[in-house]
A and B are shown apart, each in its own frame.
Chain A
């Protein structure tokens, strides 16, 4: 049955090629939930990285909303908007979010030599 085996091999290679293409393309166009990218791309200097964080006021983010909060963070990051506009933007997009929530910009600074990472909150706003 060598012919049959060869056929299977071709089919498998074909599937590999087509799926690589689909998978790479689909991830390219849909996956922006990668925090490392946000950290890297928002770097203002090679050693500093800032990120937006959204928290519900009581620190308790309902489980079913967790993923949406992550997406809200992405929206703010994507638009690189000021925080007041970000409040409006998020409220418009996620009407069911808690009444009040906070957006923080936390930056990390990496010092070479000492190998230390220092974190500080650069900006914060309560959206009401």
Chain B
């Protein structure tokens, strides 16, 4: 395995780890990095995870080799793309309702002049039009490189303009990551080769792992013990009862909220469930066997988040549910099983009648 690309991947991981560590030292010594006091932890963890990746490179290599062997039906792969596009279109239409393009874009430090151009209605309209034009091209795989880049970029720009201060909402992160996955697929893999059609699904597994691993880290390293002892969850729901006039007696908690507020033990259990399932989601890319169970657990988590905190993660729910298993194949199997069973029943009955 000592070939050049193996060495170069390892070198890249080492270099990036070093960059992380330098940033970390920089942030804790100078406090020049924004919000260094807690965000520095991300950098440290990022660096350490990459060091682990370098040390266990061979094991990772085997895991990824197993991933590339996964086979999916054509209808499943096409279905995933269509689901993704529907979600992107839906999110973009919803975004338009929010009257976007009034917030400055601050994910990049841009001069006022550039920002002025970006928030012009003409620019906004162009972005919207480009997004919807690129959709059919992307679905039909016509000029895939250009259409995938256009779709990903316009979606991300639209979402960053819609959410406050040029950031993307948490519920659109995963959609954007998977779109970027398609861009990488068209650029770095031979998309015309049938054996490579599973790559976007595999890239989605990778990005789902990244997404949930970061959520897990955030809960542990930012809130420290606050999430583990359910303090954060209970405070979040309690704060819903306040408004500008003080205590808002109009707020009526639903069943799940009532349970969390009245029973610290239940709140603790739900908080721990969140941590465990997010950690499992984080490592799910390496566990092919239990991935469906973990994804089902994550769907449950998002349903719980909706009922307790009121945050909708529809995109995540649909993507996770779709990736649980190859649904077209499973449906076909079920159909065949039922058909065989019915056929057998009929035959038995006929024989009984003859007998």
Task: Give chain A's interface residues, CB within 8 Å of chain B.
Answer: 1, 4-21, 23-37, 39-41, 49, 51, 53, 55-57, 59, 63-64, 67-68, 70-71, 78, 96, 101-102, 104, 106, 108, 110, 115, 117, 119, 121, 124, 126
Which 7 A-B residue pairings sit nearest by Cβ, starting from the closest?
Answer: A55-B244, A102-B244, A67-B164, A71-B164, A24-B46, A36-B223, A37-B222
Which residues of chain B have C-beta atoms less than 8 A from A57's C-beta?
244
Q: Known: A20-B49, A21-B50, A68-B164. Contact between A11 and B189, CB under 8 A?
A: yes
- Are B235 and A40 closer than 8 Å at their CB atoms? no
* Stretch from B198-206, B324-332, B337-345, B347-355 contacting the other chain: B198-206
Q: Known: A12-B64, A13-B61, A39-B232. Contact between A21 and B20, CB under 8 A?
A: yes
Which residues of chain B have C-beta atoms less than 8 A from A1's C-beta?
195
- Are B167 and A40 closer than 8 Å at their CB atoms? no
Could you tell me the distance in whole angstroms from the C-beta of B66 to the nearest C-beta in chain A? 9
Q: Known: A19-B210, A36-B219. Contact between A106 and B34, CB under 8 A?
A: no
- Are A59 and B206 closer than 8 Å at their CB atoms? no
- Tell me if B248 counts as interface (CB < 8 A to partner A): yes
30 A-B pairs (CB sep. < 8 Å): A8-B68, A8-B196, A9-B61, A11-B188, A12-B68, A16-B64, A19-B210, A21-B20, A24-B43, A25-B46, A29-B34, A35-B232, A37-B218, A49-B226, A49-B235, A51-B239, A53-B242, A55-B243, A59-B244, A67-B103, A67-B162, A67-B169, A68-B103, A70-B164, A71-B164, A71-B165, A96-B102, A106-B239, A108-B235, A108-B238
Which residues of chain A have C-beta atoms less than 8 A from B69's C-beta?
5
Which residues of chain B have C-beta atoms less than 8 A from A10's C-beta?
5-6, 9
Residues from 3 to 39 in B contacting A, C-beta threshold 8 Å: 5-6, 9, 12-13, 16, 19-20, 23, 33-35, 37-39
- Are B12 and A18 closer than 8 Å at their CB atoms? yes
- Tell me if B236 counts as interface (CB < 8 A to partner A): yes
Q: Give the docked Cα–Cα distance between A73 and B290 (Å).
A: 41
Closest to B207 in A: A19
Could you tell me the distance in whole angstroms from the C-beta of B263 to the nearest C-beta in chain A? 10
- Are A59 and B245 closer than 8 Å at their CB atoms? yes
- Are A106 and B243 closer than 8 Å at their CB atoms? no
Closest to B222 in A: A37
Q: Give the docked Cα–Cα distance between A64 and B102 (Å).
A: 10
Q: Known: A9-B65, A28-B42. Contact between A15 and B206, CB under 8 A?
A: yes
Q: Give the docked Cα–Cα distance between A101 and B6 (Å).
A: 58
Could you tell me the distance in whole angstroms from the C-beta of B251 to the nearest C-beta in chain A? 11
Which residues of chain B have C-beta atoms less than 8 A from A6's C-beta?
65
- Tell me if B60 counts as interface (CB < 8 A to partner A): yes
Which residues of chain A have C-beta atoms less than 8 A from B13's C-beta?
17
Q: Give the docked Cα–Cα distance between A49 and B189 (Å).
A: 50
Which residues of chain B have C-beta atoms less than 8 A from A34's C-beta?
218, 222
Closest to A126 in B: B244
Q: Known: A24-B43, A24-B214, A67-B163. Contact between A15 and B203, CB under 8 A?
A: yes
Partner of A36, one of B37, B177, B226, B242: B226
Could you tell me the distance in whole angstroms from the C-beta of A69 to the nearest C-beta in chain B? 8
Q: Known: A6-B65, A13-B64, A21-B50. Contact between A30 and B203, CB under 8 A?
A: no
- Tell me if B264 counts as interface (CB < 8 A to partner A): yes
Which residues of chain A have C-beta atoms less than 8 A from B102's C-beta?
96
Could you tell me the distance in whole angstroms from the C-beta of A22 to the nearest C-beta in chain B? 9
Which residues of chain B have C-beta atoms less than 8 A from A119's C-beta?
238-239, 241-242
Could you tell me the distance in whole angstroms from the C-beta of A60 to the nearest C-beta in chain B? 10
Which residues of chain A have C-beta atoms less than 8 A from B50's C-beta?
17, 20-21
